[in-house]
Amino acid sequence: MRNIAPAISPPAGIGDRKPANQAVLDWVQDVAKLTQPANIFWCDGSDRENAFLIEQSLQQNVLIKLNEKKVPRSYLHRSNPNDVARVEQFTFICTPTKEEAGPTNNWSEPAEMYLKLQTMLKGAMRGRTMFVIPYIMGPADSLLTKVGFEITDSKYVVLSMRIMTRMGDVAIKRLGDDANAEWNRGVHSLLDVDPTRRFICHFPQDNAIISVGSGYGGNVLLSKKCLALRIGSYLARKQGWLAEHMLILGVESPEGKKHYVAAAFPSACGKTNFAMLIPPKHFAGWKVTTVGDDIAWMQIRDGRLSAVNPENGYFGVVPGTSYKSNPNAMKSIEHDTLYTNVALTDDGDVWWEGKDGAPPAHAIDWRGNDWTPDSKEKAAHPNSRFATPMGNNPVLDPDVEKGEGVPISAIIFGGRRSDTMPLVFQAFDWNHGVYLGATMASETTAAAAGAVGQVRRDPMAMLPFCGYNIGDYFRHWIEIGKRLTNPPLIFNVNWFRKGKDRKFLWPGFGDNMRVLKWIIDRCEKSGGAVESPIGWLPSPHDVDLADLDVEHKCIVEILGIDHEEWQKELAGHQNFFESLGGVVPEELLKQREQLAARFKQ
């Protein structure tokens, strides 16, 4: 099963909802002239349209229908095995100067890249249907909300975008007929799904994205990383807000006091899990609700940061998801879910490594081959994903559609670090918090093509997603801080520290509530902490560890800092700042010096 499929012919009343906006019509005509599709399908996001596209996808082997009893209204898609993750080396920020893209992005001169892409797109949709997807990012009535149009020759993209965004009429209405209105132009073509002709290109000045040669996830759902983060971060700086790679969760005490926190962890480092956390038994009466699991758009309101989730669904990592690790995710993906690259059991159910229960005696793996528990290959790809509407989430926050967003009490940065970083600590102030974010590091994961498990600096979890110069991005964070009269407290967490036996020291998942509780206590000015060179650290008695089956010496180890490891860490910060070649703001260089000095005291 592959993505590439011939044109489809919709019956009257499907695929013909043309928007009135002349700028959109002109752009679509231009792209059609270049790519030469057999026909144009104007999406309206309706149920009828969706049913038709699913039926066509089944006929063309783009989707497999799953067992209706076990996973109602759910489907499996297999991407090309050469195309299973984001491709950072082929992701470009095309600004007039290289300096604007900065030291962390691949850069190309816009005219040169447009020419290269146009050459590849010439006639690329011959014999195929070209879909035009109108969508908005953000709640329908939010000032932050953005309109996008994505052109694609993939039905899988259309079906996924309907889950991941608010798609169809809502966007056409929001755009209106003003030909000068602001909207994002996204063009995607599978071409021939050849990794040597795969490019994900952003033109921030034109509010445009062109993606070719891939049919997978973040490369092609242009609403997500491309618009909501890369173009989004560029717009956010210009317009004075923040577009961040953060989950947003609500946490309510038994007394009914509610806080919201936003947390930036790199790809496949626990955002979806944290956003849906179920507190352990000991925390009876505490409730965690999800606003978003991947992206936060935050603006300043009444001197505070206020966050909305621009998305409408979750594109989550499947392997490891179980009733033990994340029951809310399991309930969310039991129905109306589009799976990519998981295994198919003989009875039409889905399976993956880490799912509850015994593995099936036989299955078809993500590549479409026979699989048994003795197979050397994994049944599901490590970056296999679900796309599920956020409405499926049993703990969806009631304020998720609120246009003004939710007020943020704390920002959390965190990476996957097997050493050095303690379970949790608090920054002394905003700029110190910005420094924690800027110097974050994490082991690479299967979410991007390339080696896994290598520690790299990933500032604010935005290394692959910042659409402009990272030095300006740091500066933007510092400037935002100056405008906040009631700034969120900033924390750093690490669920992934390992002991000498190379096993995780901390149980993670639901037990992360214990850390969240300390963070809330700090926001409430009731939590204890000791001052350390790296920030405020909780002592073991400051964290509620009741009913936790972890040895005291492990707790001491995971909460503590090792001065030798931190000398290496400090050198790592310095190397990273130096590698950026002079763009790092003075304030952050000073933070590093102060950190080094505190270790010498």
Binding Mn ion by CB under 5 A: which of 218, 232, 316, 585? 316
Q: Rounded to whole angstroms, how far apart are CA atoms 438 and 80? A: 35
Say if residues 137 and 146 touch (Cβ distance below 8 Å).
Answer: yes
Within positions 264 to 283, which residues make up the interface with ligand SPV, using CB under 6 A? 267
Q: Which amino acid is at 185?
A: R
353: its two tokens:
């490594």
Min separation Cβ 337 and ligand SPV, Å: 16
Which candidate, 221, 208, 218, 210, places its Cα nearest to that of 159? 221
CA distances from 482 to 437, 535, 592 (A): 17, 21, 20
Report how far Cα 528 is from the mean position of its chain's Cα atoms: 33
Does position 227 bind ligand SPV by CB under 6 A? no
Min separation Cβ 480 and ligand SPV, Å: 23
| Among the residue ranges 43-51, 268-276, 533-541, 584-592, the one whose residues contact ligand GTP (CB under 6 A) | 268-276
Which candidate, 72, 229, 79, places its Cα nearest to that of 154? 79
Does position 242 bind ligand SPV by CB under 6 A? no
| Among the residue ranges 235-243, 449-457, 477-485, 505-513, the one whose residues contact ligand GTP (CB under 6 A) | 505-513
From the list Mn ion, ligand SPV, ligand GTP, none, which binds 218 (C-beta under 5 to 8 Å, kind-based)? ligand SPV
- Give the DSSP letter of residue 208: E
Does position 188 bind ligand SPV by CB under 6 A? no
3-state secondary structure 381-413: CCCCEEEEEHHHCCCECCCCCCCCCEEEEEEEE
| Among the residue ranges 94-102, 217-225, 325-333, 499-507, the one whose residues contact ligand SPV (CB under 6 A) | 217-225
532 three-state secondary structure: strand
* Catalytic hit among 43, 269, 466, 523: 269
Does position 228 bind ligand GTP by CB under 6 A? no
From the list ligand GTP, ligand SPV, Mn ion, none, which binds 512 (C-beta under 5 to 8 Å, kind-based)? ligand GTP
| Among the residue ranges 169-177, 216-224, 334-342, 558-566, the one whose residues contact ligand SPV (CB under 6 A) | 216-224
From the list ligand SPV, Mn ion, ligand GTP, none, which binds 325 (C-beta under 5 to 8 Å, kind-based)? ligand GTP
Check if 269 is active-site. Answer: yes
Within positions 284 to 323, which residues make up the interface with ligand SPV, using CB under 6 A? 294, 315
Type and span of the H or E element at 236: helix 232-239
Binding ligand SPV by CB under 6 A: which of 78, 146, 185, 225? 225
431: its two tokens:
């700029």
From the list Mn ion, ligand SPV, ligand GTP, none, which binds 224 (C-beta under 5 to 8 Å, kind-based)? ligand SPV
536 three-state secondary structure: strand
Please spell the DSSP secondary structure of 308-374, one letter per residue.
E---SEEEEE-TT--TTT-HHHHHHTSSS-EEES-EEETTS-EE-TT-SSPPPSSEE-TTS-EE-TT
Q: Which is nearer to ligand SPV, 86 or 476 (CB)?
A: 86
Binding ligand GTP by CB under 6 A: which of 216, 234, 265, 477? 265
Phi and psi dihedrals of 53, rounded to 5?
Answer: -70, -35
Residues 6+ apart with CB under 8 A from 479: none
Interface residues with ligand GTP (CB under 6 A) are 265, 267-273, 293-294, 316-317, 319-320, 325, 447, 495-496, 504, 508-509, 512
Catalytic residues: 269
